[in-house]
Structure formats: structure tokens, C-alpha cells
Amino acid sequence: MSTVKSFTNNPYQENTYLLYDETGECAIIDPGMDTGAEQNVVVNFIKDNNLKPVLLLNTHCHIDHILGNKFVFDQYGLKPQFHKGEEFVMDAMPAWAQQSGIRYELSPKPDTYLPETGEIKFGNTTLELIFAPGHSPAHLCFYDKAANLVIGGDVLFRNSVGRTDLPGGNHQQLIKNIEEKLFTLPDDCTVYPGHGHETTIGYEKENNPFF
């Protein structure tokens, strides 16, 4: 059964996730490490728990979710995997970083792009892909059915949803995807969002003011 470890990184307070299971293999999801100190915390956790990073996944390519891609590549030799529809978002990030005064080391490009549907496997863990654009043009969520959790990126937050005013954003599309693809997951499924505290599908169905 997989375990989630979360780290809050960078000026945007983004959640970087490690997902690992009893085999010791782990996936690094949305690495937002910005400073040496933030990098050290993640590396030390991996070392102290004898984990072996085998996958680097991005839910989407906004800067706060990819700041650590280059570091992970240098450290573990992993190139990111994300949906091809996010590539133009990634291509816009150097200019974004410059405008925002953020130091961004160019992320490597994927060798493997992720499809809209399907599965990713590592160790004894299977992640189902959920294609949920709206916050960004080709956003993916990663659903671990066995562990009853979803790494949701910037789609659904506790009492909120992802902003849709960035290039490629679409509010109606986002709401529709949450209703049709996330709200159909079990009520007690834990949602680990890109920012803020985790929540559950059931809690959001009952309490989220956007629905």
C-alpha cells in the first residue's frame, strides 16, 4: 500500500509529493523545491527512508509545480512525465519566472508523455490517470485506488477550486471535470491538492462553495 509524504515549497506554498510503497520505489510528483534547504529536506527524507525514486510526474506545468524538475533530473536522472498538452505551458515558464523574479532552472523535456487515460505503475503501486483540464490545458490527476487517494494538483482544493484565469484555463471545463471525474470517486477518498491541506471527495461535495 502506498504512503504519501508532502513537502510545502517555494513562494507559492506548493505541495510537493512523494508517493512510495513497501518496495521502496517512489514517485516524485510536482517537485516545487526552490532553495537548497527545500531540496535537502526532500533528499534527506528519500535517503533516511531508503527510497528509490523511479518516476518524476507533473500534474501540470505551471512554474510552482516544476521548479524542482531540473534538480530531480540532476539528482536521480529522472525526466518528467506529463501530458503533451502542457508543453506550451512549460515553454512559457522562463519568461514567467523572469517577470516574477523567480530563479527557474530549465526543466528537461519528457522522453515519455502521459496519455489522457491509462495507468502508471511502479513498485506495487498503480496510478490511474484522470484527465481534468480547466486550471491548465492538459492537467492530470493521479488516482491510487488501492490506497484510496488522489494526487490532484490544482484542480480541487479544500473549499475551493483551481484558478482559471491563466493561459489555457477554462472555468466551466474545470467544474465539469471535477463533477464528472473526481466527484465520482469514493466519498472517503483523500485528495492531496497542489496547495493547502488535504481533503476528501465527500467533504468537498458537501461543503465546497463552487458546487
3-class SS shares of the chain: helix, strand, coil, % to 5: 30, 30, 45
Q: Which three cell numbers stand for residue 26?
A: 517512489
Q: E strand or H helix at 25, and its extent? A: strand 25-29
Structure confidence at residue 211 (pLDDT)? 97
CB atoms within 10 A of CB 36: 9
Total residues belonging to the chain = 211
Q: With contact defined as beta carbons under 8 Å apart, do 193 and 154 qualify?
A: yes
Q: What would the pLDDT profile of 105-133 be if each residue is shown by its tens digit?
A: 999 999 999 999 999 999 999 999 999 99
State whether residue 141 is helix, strand or coil.
Answer: strand
| Structure confidence at residue 36 as a pLDDT band (50, 70, 90) | very high
Separation CA 65–CA 69 (nearest Å)? 8
> What is the number of structural domains in the chain?
1
Q: Where are the alpha helices (DSSP H) in the chain?
A: 36-48, 63-66, 69-76, 87-91, 93-100, 171-177, 201-207
Query: Which residues form the domain of 131?
Result: 3-207
Q: What digits encode the pLDDT tens for the residues 136-149?
A: 999 999 999 999 99
**Helix or strand or coil: residue 17?**
strand
Q: d(Cα 68, Cα 9) in Å, to the nearest integer?
A: 10
Say if residues 89 and 61 touch (Cβ distance below 8 Å): yes
User: What is the reported pLDDT for 183?
Assistant: 98
Backbone angles phi, psi at 48, to 5 degrees: -65, -25
- pLDDT attached to residue 84: 98
201, 193 contact by CB (below 8 A): no
The band of 21, judged by pLDDT with boundaries at 50, 70 and 90, is: very high
Encode pLDDT of 100-110 as tens digits: 999 999 999 99
pLDDT digit string (tens) for 40-82? 999 999 999 999 999 999 999 999 999 999 999 999 999 999 9
Helix (H, G, I), strand (E, B) or coil at 211: coil
The confidence score (pLDDT) of residue 58 equals: 99
Cα radius of gyration (the chain): 16
- CATH number of 55's domain: 3.60.15.10
Distance, CA of 26 to CA of 23 (rounded, Å): 9
pLDDT at site 22:
98
pLDDT, tens digit (0-9, with 9 covering 90-100), for 158-191: 999 999 999 899 999 999 999 999 999 999 999 9
